[in-house]
Structure 1
Amino acid sequence: MPHEFEVREEIALDATPEQVWEAIATGPGVDSWFMGRNTIEPREGGRTRQEIMGFPSEATVTAWEPGKKYAIRTDDNPDGTFMAMEYLIEGRDGGSTVLRFVHSGFLGDDWEAEYDALKVGDGMYLRKLAAYLRHFPGRTSAYNVFAVGPQVADKDRVWSAFAGVLGLTGTEVAEGAPGRLAVEGLAPVDGVVEFARRPGYLGFRTDEGLYMLIHGYQDAVVVEHHDFSGSADGARLDEVWQSWLNRSFA
């Protein structure tokens, strides 16, 4: 039986309403901080499509007010579940913006675990959006990785692997801490911790990349990597991160 849910979030962003709109309501903008590959038909009633690891999902644009309001509703699943997402944009003095986000709909039989994951995940992605707008304004991701590893129940083991690949030490990882990303198959690169919530997720930024390491729903370990250099080999990035997941959590 489907279960109704709602998650509400609000975040202040160092970006203009126009910049926020480009990030949430265009395919290249969404690609630069969210999941998968996205296309958006720019009108109310238009269709959106998101593809993750070869699996597509589609939705309908239910609100289209450029610079003010954007909303979508996914197609119904056979069991009656669906999701709706609404973004309300409010400009503030000094070129900043407040973004209010409402995520609602109906979840399936595992609704309690799904809801708990959404409550964490929605805030996590808004923080990633904030990092994108702050550090990569006017740029879009040339390639984005979404790599899924094994299910690992040991939270300490997962966090240790996250910290290790970023050259971080200690159990507490502070926002703003310098790190050095070193994964086999890629040249080491220096960066900074953007946000961290143990044991759930860790965000990291370099001059040309935005990364997120996630210990999420059903204990799955996930790597997201958005490349802004325009010169990376996407297939190679996928291979490198999948290999790291397999080695680290075999």
Structure 2
Amino acid sequence: MGHQFELHKDIELAATPEQVWEAIATGPGIDSWFMGRNEVEPGEGGRTRMTIAGHTEEATVTGWEPGKRFSYGTQPGPDGTFLAFEYLIEGRAQGGTVLRLVQSGVLGDNWETEYEAMQVGWNMYIETLAAYLAHFPGRSAIPVTVFRPGAGAPEQVWAAVTAAFGITGPVAEGQPARITVDGLPPIEGIVDLVALPAYFGVRTDDALYRFVHSGSDRGDALMLGHHIFAADEDPAATERAWQAWLSELPVS
């Protein structure tokens, strides 16, 4: 039996409505803060495509008002499940923009776990959107997404991840973070996102690095969803390097 739901998120962004529109309604913009690789065909009736781990999910654009409103939705599956998304953009006279997100639809039998995962996930993604617009306006990122199913319990995984960044003790925003990944230049930045045991993020001069744990109810998977703004980055080589790092992460 499917379960109807509706989820709301609001955020104030240090950006113009035009900048926010580019970030939420174009493929390169979405790549710079959300998950996977994305394409958007502009205009009502156009198609959106999000590709993760070789799987592409398509949706249809249902609302297209540049600088104001963007909405799209998937087709119902055989079990009646579907997802719909609506972004509402409101410029402020004193500067900045308020973005309102509404996600709705029908979830499957395990709807409570799915709903909780979406709530937590959106918290991370809208904060990443804010970081993108504040620190990398006008730039486009290469998305790097890799997975490790069954990585381990949250406490074990986060101890290994934070240790790899040279962090000991409690993790807090603003802490310096440094990591070496074979095949990549040394990475140095600051912790800019902490909501353990769900997610952790580091910002550098040319990237937003994001680490997400699915929770034990969803298989103890660890996902890396990075956004690399360096112009000379080799996407395939970077993804291979991070996948090797993730596979060899010493979780005990």
> What is aligned with 1:24?
24
Shift of 1:86: 0.7
Partner of 1:159: 158
Q: Deviations over 1:128-186 (max 9, x none)?
A: 10111111000001x2111011224421111112212222221x211122211322332
Q: Counterpart of 1:42?
A: 42
> Where does residue 207 of structure 1 map in the other structure?
205
Distance in 2 (CA, whole Å) between partners of 1:84 and 1:249 is 39
Residues 1-250 of structure 1: matches in 2 within 5 Å? 1-141=1-141, 143-170=142-169, 172-216=170-214, 218=218, 219-248=220-249
Residues 2 and 79, structure 1, Cα contact 8 Å, conserved in 2:
yes
Q: TM-score, normalised by structure 1?
A: 0.95
In 2, the alpha carbon distance for the partners of 1:92 and 1:9 equals 18
Distance 1:102 1:14 in 2: 20
Which TM-score applies when normalising by structure 2?
Answer: 0.94
1:249 Cα deviation after fit: 5.6
CA distance in structure 2 between the partners assigned to 1:247 and 1:130 by the alignment: 31
Partner AA of 1:241 in structure 2: W
SS at match of 1:38: strand
Contact 1:183 1:244 survives alignment (8 Å): yes
Cα distance in 2 between the residues matched to 1:36 and 1:155: 23
Percent of aligned positions that are identical: 54
Contact 1:152 1:249 in 2 (8 A): no
Please state how far the C-alpha of 1:189 moved relative to its aligned partner.
2.1
Paired residue secondary structure (1:95): coil
1:57 to 1:249, Cα distance in 2 relative to 1, 3 A: farther
Structure 1 unpaired stretches of 5+: none
User: Which residue identity does 2:13 align to in structure 1?
Assistant: L
Distance in 1 (alpha carbons) for counterparts of 2:186 and 2:247: 20
